[in-house]
Amino acid sequence: MTSKLGHETFTIWMKSLLFHTYGCTVFNSKGEIVYRVDNYGTKCSREVHLMDLRGRVLFTICRKKLQVFGGWNGYRWSSSSAINKEQKPWFQVKKYCRLMQLMAGDVACRITAGYDKYMIVRLAAGKSAFRIVGVDGEVVAEAKPKHSCCGVELGEDVLTLEVMSPRLDHSLIMALVIVYGIIQRRLYVVAFANLLNAMRTTLNVLMAKVYPQEQPSSSSDPAYMTSKRETFTLWMKSLVYQTNGCTVYNTTGDIVYRVDNYEKKGSSEVHLMDLRGKVLFTIRRKKLLAFGGWEGYRCRIHGSCVNEEKPWFRVKKCYKSVLFMGDLACQVTVGYDKYWIVKLAGKAAFRIVNTDGDIVAEAKPKRSSSGLLLGDDVLTLVVAPQMDHSLIMALVIVYGLIRRRV
């Protein structure tokens, strides 16, 4: 992960670009999104993930359950491995209680990042204004309400953040801003009533088309595996504005998996996440494989990840020149198990079969109750009993990458 240093000015919108979600979106001076938080739980969630534009997790921020006055740990992700919460956190933030605030003045939090100490200090410019200072009083970053060119304040949820320290990583500063936002309970959902109602109307219309008179089924267990056959609806698009991706709904219409791939279709790395943004699989394209291959690395529920030297699964593309393969599109290896992705009639239909020929999952274009085809980008996915749903979703994403549909 490349760290960016030096003086920089950002615009922080304390809201997420996703429908009905809490979060934060950070723009650089060119108006480009550079950091984001899509926190699907609550305003003051116990765990949030700071990501870059492409959805790569930079920091996982966890609230310390046993901290009396409120404390947060920040775990940094690297390009080679995910976090392990049993390791020492990259930074720690401790909130000052009211008594301590009376003694410390406007100091809101104390920060420890390695051997360095910082403080978050409230400013008198308004509820949103604050600065991050070193123990010697040096201002390393300062946030104030943003004003238009004619001096009009754009609202308490739009801030200008100026990073002044030439040696502090911008992503670390953003992670500290997120912690302060959690403390202030400012990871807002969209507040404008007319915009929110318009979003709800749009989403309800879409869901009415995607889920015509469907009956709910039993819920999935925490291990993403059930003893019954499960049916999902795949929408091969992201809910984020103007982005590539995939959104997966269960039979009750709830979002259960998603991919928000901000870069381009056929990206070399994507992340399969659950509703709350927890990364379940990181999927990477193997650059040196002649016929095209992908590897999937599984992130466990408690935050640690398997050894990246040994992927959880591998997918190898089968080319048309291999005539005896017939309709086989991919070969899948999951440990000692082998599967095949087989193309079916139609551009979007396919199934996943094991070496015995048993169908473990099948995807076909979804139709309404009257038989109307809902489009090539809306699929019905049926998963066999005792199959890990998250693994199947990861394989579906790989097939989407092969066909440049994600």
Lowest mean pLDDT among 9-13, 279-283, 371-375, 397-401: 371-375
Which residues are bridge partners to 247 per DSSP? 235, 258
CA distances from 16 to 39, 54, 189, 226 (A): 8, 15, 7, 32
pLDDT band at 38 (very low <50, low <70, confident <90, very high): confident
CATH number, domain of 73, equals 2.40.160.200
End residue of a domain, out of 183, 202, 229? 183
DSSP letter, residue 219: P
Assess whether 252 and 368 both reside in one domain.
yes
CA distances from 167 to 5, 50, 75, 142, 164 (A): 6, 20, 20, 15, 9
User: Does residue 343 register a pLDDT over 70?
Assistant: yes
Return the structure tokens found at 350: 């396919």
Ramachandran category for residue 404: left, alpha or beta (phi over 0 → left; psi -120 to 50 → alpha):
left
In a domain, residue 20? The reply is yes
Assess whether 167 and 263 both reside in one domain.
no
Query: Can you give the residue range of the structural domain that contains 237?
Result: 221-402
DSSP letter, residue 40: -
Assess whether 17 and 165 both reside in one domain.
yes
In a domain, residue 208? The reply is no
DSSP letter, residue 299: B
| Total domains, the chain | 2
pLDDT at 390: 92
Rounded to whole angstroms, the Cα distance separating 162 from 50 reads 19
Nearest to 172 by CA among 121, 113, 248: 113
In a domain, residue 210? The reply is no
In a domain, residue 193? The reply is no
User: Does residue 184 register a pLDDT over 50?
Assistant: yes
Rounded to whole angstroms, the Cα distance separating 256 from 185 reads 25
Assess whether 263 and 374 both reside in one domain.
yes
User: Does residue 192 register a pLDDT over 60?
Assistant: no
In a domain, residue 213? The reply is no
Note the pLDDT tens digit of each residue in 139-152.
Answer: 999 988 888 777 77
pLDDT at 315: 92
End residue of a domain, out of 157, 183, 209? 183
Express as a percent the part of the chain with pLDDT over 90. Answer: 15
Assess whether 132 and 238 both reside in one domain.
no
In a domain, residue 196? The reply is no
Nearest to 82 by CA among 238, 379, 284: 284
pLDDT at 46: 75
Report the chain's C-alpha Rg in angstroms.
23
Assess whether 269 and 323 both reside in one domain.
yes
Return the structure tokens found at 321: 């020149």
**Looking at residues 121-131, what average pLDDT do you find?**
78
End residue of a domain, out of 163, 183, 203? 183
Assess whether 148 and 38 both reside in one domain.
yes
pLDDT at 152: 79
Assess whether 361 and 303 both reside in one domain.
yes
In a domain, residue 194? The reply is no
CA distances from 321 to 223, 343, 404 (A): 39, 15, 20
Assess whether 179 and 227 both reside in one domain.
no
Name the phi and psi angles at 249, rounded to 5: -115, 145
User: Does residue 81 register a pLDDT over 60?
Assistant: no
pLDDT at 339: 93
103 vs 236: which has the higher pLDDT: 236
Mean pLDDT of the chain: 76
| Residues 184 and 24: beta-carbon distance below 8 Å | no
- Say what the pTM is: 0.56
Largest CA distance in the chain: 78
Assess whether 158 and 295 both reside in one domain.
no
User: Does residue 196 register a pLDDT over 50?
Assistant: no
In a domain, residue 189? The reply is no
Assess whether 241 and 167 both reside in one domain.
no
**Looking at residues 340-361, what average pLDDT do you find?**
88
Q: How far is CA 82 from the centre of its chain?
A: 14
User: Does residue 175 register a pLDDT over 60?
Assistant: yes
Note the pLDDT tens digit of each residue in 85-96.
Answer: 557 889 999 887
Rounded to whole angstroms, the Cα distance separating 121 from 359 reads 59
H runs (alpha helix) in 37-187? 98-104, 170-183
pLDDT band at 214 (very low <50, low <70, confident <90, very high): very low
Nearest to 262 by CA among 293, 233, 296, 239: 239
pLDDT at 393: 94
Assess whether 246 and 166 both reside in one domain.
no
**Residue 332 burial (C-beta neighbours within 10 Å; 0-12, 13-18, 19+):** buried
